[in-house]
Amino acid sequence: MSIRTICCIGAGYVGGPTMAVIADRCPGIQVTVVDLNQARIDAWNDPDLSKLPVYEPGLDAVVGRCRGRNLHFSTAVEPAIAAADMVFLSVNTPTKTKGVGAGQASDLRWIEASARQVAACAQGHTIVVEKSTLPVRTAETVQAILSAAQGDGASGGSPKTFAVLSNPEFLAEGTAIPDLEQPDRVLIGGDDPAAIEALAGVYGQWVPNDRILRTNLWSSELSKLTANAFLAQRISSINAIAALCEATGADVQEVAHAIGADSRIGRKFLKAGPGFGGSCFQKDILNLVYLCGHYGLHEVAAYWQSVVDLNSWQQHRIARLVVQRLFGTVTGKRIAVLGFAFKANTNDTRESPAIRICRDLLEEGASLFIYDPKVKSEQISSDLPETSQIVDSLNCPEAVGKWYLAKSVNDAVYQADAVIILTEWPEFADLDWSTIYTYMRHPSWLFDTRCATNWPQAVEVGFSVWVIGKGIVSNLRMR
């Protein structure tokens, strides 16, 4: 079966970029991305490509090439499903907040709702592809919903049949376009060979066949959770060692370099920082923990839970050490927070370490001046709702436990006691610490939780400096 029309339900961080690349690489396929969220669809259709709802380097060019040609964004869900040979489910699957499994299990209400919509609106044979990250065996639920709608067409319409595939997405935010254009692998799980080959035929238009892995449904679903658990575990491991480095005089960058040279370990994902964030790692590990508990594997559940616990500990540890270094109190002190996104090159703040660190500091009474080149003030307001107060930071009244949006780095650091780097935006690598020092109150601190600045210059001009995995470096030999 060759695919001519695709519908993707969910125009988020995964659905939007993934479908844009499919449309770009497969000019013979009409791709429609649908969403219930009108504002999001309007933003995807904005003539000004800088206003797309997802910021990803290179995404604007891809959308610019295909939009209106074979890439469409719409809120008309039903006709798009009816016209599709293949429907991707790319809806959100956050952690449940209440009921059975609250705090761990995935909330599958959006998957179920979209499967029901497909069941109701599809026509003819439709291949349904799970693109969202799902607990192992979710395809059973999707299949059950679709089977109930299958028919022989006796009532007048065309016969309705379905095949279900799992095709988890491994893109990383910030590098979504290169990850989609040259994936390490594409994973397709299923038990219907014709459906598997139809999807492989789509990817095969730009991905070499030896990178398209075919597995059974459950292996595919579980591989996605496992990949995220392994990646997050590496971050927690290096962050654990960073704390030990700070205590012993070792340097985490040197340790990471030394161990990464071992080809069995490898160099990637060995960068110490304020902890992992993003919409996926924590939710996927918690989901894994829940599944292990469900199957009675309590020791396995505890093992993976410790990866999340270490991550939370790292964030609280950083907030605590800032307070300690600022003479044990930050009440009423101005602190410049540079970076709020969970990593560079994205405007996504979901589970960003910045949220927990800022909350801790606000609770201690600090006045935070937050600057991020891509994150909008409304987003920060919804992440720090209890304390929001967006005013021009230069003219704000002194306030305890409030945050302010800064429009620039200079705006953020004005009269501040400390600067905390929370996201490794490239522009922070070149900051001129001698100018910044003149704007700040003295003694002035730099806390670089990403080792992403020219901190030796900050030491040279008079800052007290703490760097992740190195500790206080003010008295160290310059390197």
Ligand X SMILES: NC(=O)c1ccc[n+]([C@@H]2O[C@H](COP(=O)([O-])OP(=O)(O)OC[C@H]3O[C@@H](n4cnc5c(N)ncnc54)[C@H](O)[C@@H]3O)[C@@H](O)[C@H]2O)c1
In the set 43, 83, 113, 461, which binds ligand X (CB under 6 A)? 113
Q: Of the candidates 3, 6, 7, 9, which one interacts with ligand X according to CB under 6 A?
A: 9
* Residue 242 CB coordination number (10 Å): 28
Q: Report which of 25, 24, 20, 26 is spatially closest to residue 2, judged by C-alpha positions.
A: 26
Is 13 a residue that touches ligand X (CB under 6 A)? Answer: yes
Residue 40 within binding range of ligand X, rule CB under 6 A: yes
Nearest-approach distance from CB 45 to ligand X, in angstroms = 14
Place of tokens 């709802």: 53
Question: Which residue's structure tokens are 């307070």?
Answer: 323
Using CB under 6 A as the binding rule, whether residue 352 contacts ligand X is answered as: no
My answer on whether omega of the bond before 47 falls inside 30° of 0, hence cis, is no
Total Cβ atoms within 10 A of residue 67: 18
At closest approach, how far in Å is the CB of 12 from ligand X? 2
Work out whether 93 is an interface residue with ligand X (CB under 6 A).
yes
- DSSP character string of 55-71: --TTHHHHHHHHBTTTE
Shortest gap between Cβ of 357 and ligand X (angstroms)?
A: 21
Residue nearest ligand X, Cβ-based: 12
Query: Does residue 277 touch ligand X according to CB under 6 A?
Result: no
**8, 26, 245, 280: the active-site residue:** 280
Minimum CB separation from ligand X for residue 355, in Å? 16
Q: Which of residues 63-92 bind ligand X (CB under 6 A)?
A: 77, 90-92
Instruction: Candidates 30-38, 207-215, 229-237, 410-418: pick the segment binding ligand X (CB under 6 A).
Output: 30-38
Q: Are strands 464-467 and 445-448 parallel, antiparallel or unpaired?
A: parallel
11 interacts with ligand X by CB under 6 A: yes
Q: State both tokens at 166.
A: 């799992």
* Dihedral angle over CA of 219, 221, 225, 226, nearest 10: 10
CA distance 110 to 142: 12
Contact flag: residue 422 with ligand X (CB under 6 A): no
Does 280 participate in binding ligand X (rule CB under 6 A)?
Answer: yes
Residue 10 interacting with ligand X (CB under 6 A): yes
55 is a site residue for ligand X (CB under 6 A): no
**DSSP state letter for 387:** G
169 part of the interface to ligand X, by CB under 6 A: yes
Binding to ligand X (CB under 6 A) within 211-230 occurs at none
Question: What is the C-alpha separation between 33 and 17, in angstroms, rounded?
Answer: 10
SS (H, E, C) 95-126: ECCCCCCCCCCECCHHHHHHHHHHHHHCCCEE
Instruction: Report the nearest approach of ligand X to the CB of residue 372 (Å).
Output: 18
Closest CA relative to residue 238, chosen from 273, 286, 279: 273
State the minimum distance, in angstroms, from the CB of residue 395 to ligand X.
Answer: 35
Closer residue to ligand X in complex, CB, 112/191: 112
Q: Which of 7, 12, 160, 290 binds ligand X (CB under 6 A)?
A: 12
| Choice between 90 and 253, CB closer to ligand X | 90
Does the CA dihedral 325-384-373-184 come out positive or negative? positive
Of the candidates 169, 214, 177, the one whose C-alpha atom is nearest the C-alpha of residue 345 is 177
Q: In the complex with ligand X, which residue's Cβ is closer, 228 or 315?
A: 228
DSSP string, 203-248: HTTTS-GGGEEEE-HHHHHHHHHHHHHHHHHHHHHHHHHHHHHHHH
> How far is Cα of residue 355 from the mean position of the Cα atoms in its chain?
14
Binding of residue 18 to ligand X (CB under 6 A):
no
* E strands, 235-359, in order: 334-338
| Interface with ligand X, residue 173, by CB under 6 A | yes
How many residues at the interface with ligand X, by CB under 6 A? 28
φ/ψ of 427, rounded to 5, equals -65, -20
Region binding ligand X by CB under 6 A among candidate stretches 167-175, 180-188, 199-207, 331-339: 167-175
Six token digits for residue 249: 């005089």
Two structure tokens written together for 107: 């909330």
Stretch 117-156 residues interacting with ligand X (CB under 6 A): 117, 132-133
287 by Cβ neighbours in 10 Å (0-12 / 13-18 / 19+) ranks as buried
Residue 36, interface with ligand X (CB under 6 A)? yes
Per CB under 6 A, 447 contacts ligand X: no
CB of residue 78 to ligand X, shortest distance in Å: 10
Cα first-last separation, the chain: 61
With binding defined as CB under 6 A, does residue 343 bind ligand X?
A: no
| Only segment of 6-14, 195-203, 234-242, 249-257 that touches ligand X (CB under 6 A) | 6-14
The nearest distance, CB 373 to ligand X, in angstroms, is 19
Q: Which is nearer to ligand X, 169 or 424 (CB)?
A: 169
Q: Does 171 bind ligand X (CB under 6 A)?
A: yes
Is residue 7 annotated as a catalytic residue, yes or no?
no
Catalytic residues: 280
User: Which residues in this chain contact ligand X in the complex, by CB under 6 A?
Assistant: 9-15, 34-37, 40, 77, 90-93, 110, 113-114, 117, 132-133, 169, 171, 173, 279-280
